[in-house]
Amino acid sequence: MKKILLLFLFQASVCLGQKAQIIRGPYLQSVTPTSVLVRWRTDIPAPSQVYYQSKGKVLSAIDSNRVKDHVLKLHQLKPATRYAYQIDSKSFEKNRYVVTAPAFGSKESVRIWALGDFGDGSASQKSVMNSINAYTQGNRPDVWIWLGDNAYDNGKDEEYQKNVFDVYQDLFLQNLPIYPSPGNHDYAGKHNPSEPPYFKIFNMPTEGQAGGIISHSESYYSVNYGPVHLVALDTEMQEASGLMLKDGKGNQVDWLKADLAANKLPWVVVYFHKPPYSKGSHDSDTELDMKSMRENMTSIFEEYKVDLVIAGHSHVYERSFPMRGHAGVNETFDASKHIVAQSKAPNQFVVGPNGQGVIYVVSGSGGKVGGQRPGYPMKSSVYTNNTIGGSVLLDVSNHIFNLKWIQSDGHVGDEFVIEKP
């Protein structure tokens, strides 16, 4: 017994004297105009300390508790300001920084990167990443939204490490705040939010600190970022009542309606995993989850004048006309009835006094690519591509909304513009 105690004390003393090594991150969460969460993981328990500076003044945040998974909040920051930061050091690196969100109510233009179905470790995943990195040199994204199926095959912690953190760390994770949503692979096919590692890896702004109303749920939340109201939903979570988002009712849907009703910003983007319209690697006419999303949720998006709904799941790119009133199967789409838009030019729309339909985009080829089901491309589609990977860039100002689909070869495969006078 005495030998065991001495061995324990020796091991403890070695750990206390050993310098912790960062084995994950750092990465950025829940950025607001005045704060950001910095997360990282170390190989042994250690205190948390971040040094940060803007215009030469060095500040620090400290938590003396010894942990492996570190979450430290930097607060009392200035809006739309770049801060260099470093873990346990004042030796700042060029690419390790955070830019805080614009002040609430700001009319500053913003750039948002949307990526879906990406963490599979494939060559296509890396090509999509590299294409965005090259395309955005000189004008980097401000925020990064994830459309689910972030880490294949089952959203395990080690899969996030290998297929997400090890891939994106240097180019994006250390300087681009993430607002994620989960997919079926992140849930490993289950529906209980207490199980997936996803909810332990990420911190969502559930208390309304990033804008929108309080959700009290890590599964769904909203963000005001410049002129855009971003709403992240969870198509996989089953509530205690048994209800899911696809049912068009329940706590998540009640929150969504209240949040959209309270929004005052000119643009609304809703994102989640399983799309209401697709004929790519998944079929929204025959797969119940997607069919139910179309039948029960699209009328809500229309009622609250959502501009863009963007999802993943289907490993293709698909973009619809601005639509209203189409909840049926593909063959029931009637352009004369369901397209609601005032076109100024091809792929350019001006929102008139009666508003515009919702544009639905599937961008599920951030890693996984390909597939088509009978009826592809959908009758409601303006443009589709199931042969090459890609991801979406949104450039949004107070009156202009521009979407580009950037292919993995660097070309702009699709683009449209909406104007709101």
DSSP labels, 64-96: EEEEEEEEEEE-SPPTT-EEEEEES-S---TT-
Overall average pLDDT of the 127-150 stretch: 98
- CA distances 56 to 85, 88, 269, 379, Å, are 12, 17, 37, 56
339, β-bridge pairs:
323
pLDDT at residue 222, as a whole number: 99
Given the DSSP bridges, would you call strands 221-225 and 228-232 parallel, antiparallel or unpaired?
Answer: antiparallel
CA 406 distance to own-chain centroid? 17
In contact, 352 and 346? CB cutoff 8 Å: no
Residue 293 CB contacts under 8 Å (≥ 6 apart), including other chains: 235, 245, 246, 274, 275, 276, 284
Helices (H) and strands (E) in the chain, counts: 8, 20
Average pLDDT, the chain: 95
Tens-place pLDDT, residues 38-89: 999 999 999 999 999 998 889 999 999 999 999 999 999 999 999 999 999 9
Instruction: Please list the alpha-helical segments (H only) found in 202-250.
Output: none
Q: Is the pLDDT of residue 13 over 60?
A: no
Overall average pLDDT of the 272-282 stretch: 99
Q: Is the pLDDT of residue 12 over 60?
A: no
* Whole-angstrom distance, CA of residue 272 vs CA of residue 148: 7
201-235: buried (b, 16+ CB within 10 Å) or exposed (e) per residue?
Answer: bbebbbebebbbbebebbbbbbbbbbbbbbbbbbb
Q: What is the DSSP letter of 331?
A: G
In contact, 396 and 402? CB cutoff 8 Å: yes
Token pair for 33: 């105009």
pTM of the full structure = 0.95
